[in-house]
Structure formats: structure tokens, C-alpha cells
Amino acid sequence: MRIVFIGPPGAGKGTQAQWLVEYLKIPHLSTGDMLRSAIDEGTAIGKVAADYISQGQLVPDPVVIQLIGDRLMEPDCDHGALFDGFPRTLAQAASLDDYLSESGRALDLAIQLVVSEQHLIERLDGRGREDDRPEIIRHRMEVFRQRTEPLLGYYEERGKLARIDGVGTVEEVSMRIKDAIESCSPPKTK
């Protein structure tokens, strides 16, 4: 299965991704984690990404598309993937669709985790990441609204959007995600 996770910072994408990748036996492709590793390793991509991330801005589309395109060529992605934090713009979503369809593959589902802004701020407060400072969080939320929310319409038009209430215990949200996955029939591609 190929699933995209969409939700604002603090919606619980990372937490839910952890069990979901084990449950579905698919690799977890978090562009945020990939970019943070690139920064730690001091690679060329890491050098480009560092300032954008620390300011809560999106890393430019070509950089992220290249990163995910390279990762998708690895054999563990042949039978599925969970995309966490990607795509974040319409250009990234269109690139992903093009990339998958070129190899006869397709996305099965886009899962939107719906969480109110008040809940998000409370959750992010306890996380302690450098880009979780209040002014940067506010900016990341604004970026989500402007750049990433349009993806909801994109996936809805294609009949792929599942809206999941992201408020509740990890187990409660997990059950809702499982139900959405079970009611989504696999497409007729490999």
C-alpha cells in the first residue's frame, strides 16, 4: 500500500506512522527525518535545507522531490510506502503521482489527521525540537494552511482522501486509521 499522511505540525503523524509501517510492512518515508539526517551528516542537501528548517519554511520543491525520488528507487519501496510529511505542496503531489504512474504504481490513500489548533499547540509544547519554538510553530502552521491544505482538495477530487479525527488516545486514533485502510480497496496496479 502507498499512503500519504497529511496533517499540521503536532497532529501525530510521526506517532501513528510508527505502528502503521509495522502493521503494513512498508517503509516509513519521512522527509523531515531524511532532511534532519542530511543536516547531521553535512551533505549538500543538508546544507541547503538547514536554514529553511530552522526558520520553519519549506525546503524548495526540487530538493525534496529529488530526495524522495532517490529513496523510492530503493527496492524496499517496490511494494509500498508510508509518506510522512511529503507531499507538502501541489507541485510535490503532482511529482509523486507522475513518478509512481511512470512505474505503473499509484497512491492508495491520503489520510488527513484533523486536530484543532489549540490541541496542536499543547502537543508541540512538550516536544522540544529546535523548530518547535512558539514563533516558528506559528509560522509552520501558516505554511501548512497556505501550501499544504490545498492538497486536501487535490486528493479529494481523486477519491483518495480519508479524514480522520486526530484527537484522542494514540489507540483511538490508530483504530480510526485501521478502519479507513480496511475500507479502501487496493488499486489494480502492482
Q: Where are the beta strands (DSSP E) in 10-144?
A: 28-30, 81-84, 109-114
Question: Residue 60, preceding bond cis, omega within 30 degrees?
Answer: no
> In the set 105, 140, 160, 176, which binds ligand AMP (CB under 6 A)?
140
12 versus 56: smaller Cβ distance to ligand AMP: 56
- Pick the closer one to ligand AMP by CB: 88 or 160: 88
Place of cell 484543532: 116
Stretch that binds ligand AMP, among 17-25, 27-35, 69-77, 179-187 (CB under 6 A): 27-35
How remote is the C-alpha of 120 from its chain's centroid? 16
Interaction mask 80-99, ligand AMP, x per CB under 6 A: -----xx-x---x-------
- Which residue is associated with the grid cell 488499486? 187
Helix (H) or strand (E) holding 163: strand 161-165
Nearest-5° angle of CA 81, CA 35, CA 73? 40
Residues across the chain: 190
Q: Which residues contact 128 (CB under 8 A, 6 or more apart)?
A: none
Whichever of 9 and 12 has its CB closer to ligand AMP, that residue is 9
Query: Is 144 near ligand AMP (CB under 6 A)?
Result: no
Q: Which of 4, 58, 93, 110 binds ligand AMP (CB under 6 A)?
A: 58
Q: How far is the CB of 146 from ligand AMP (least distance, A)?
A: 13
Q: Per DSSP, what are the bridge partners of residue 82?
A: 3, 28
CA dihedral angle for residue 136, residue 137, residue 143, residue 149, rounded to 10 degrees: 170
Using the rule CB under 6 A, is 5 a contact of ligand AMP?
no
Q: Does 32 bind ligand AMP (CB under 6 A)?
A: yes
Please select the residue that binds ligand AMP; options are 19, 52, 99, 154, rule is CB under 6 A.
52
Which region among 39-47, 50-58, 97-105, 158-166 touches ligand AMP (by CB under 6 A)? Answer: 50-58
Where does this chain bind ligand AMP (CB under 6 A)?
9, 31-32, 35, 52-53, 56-59, 64, 85-86, 88, 92, 131, 140
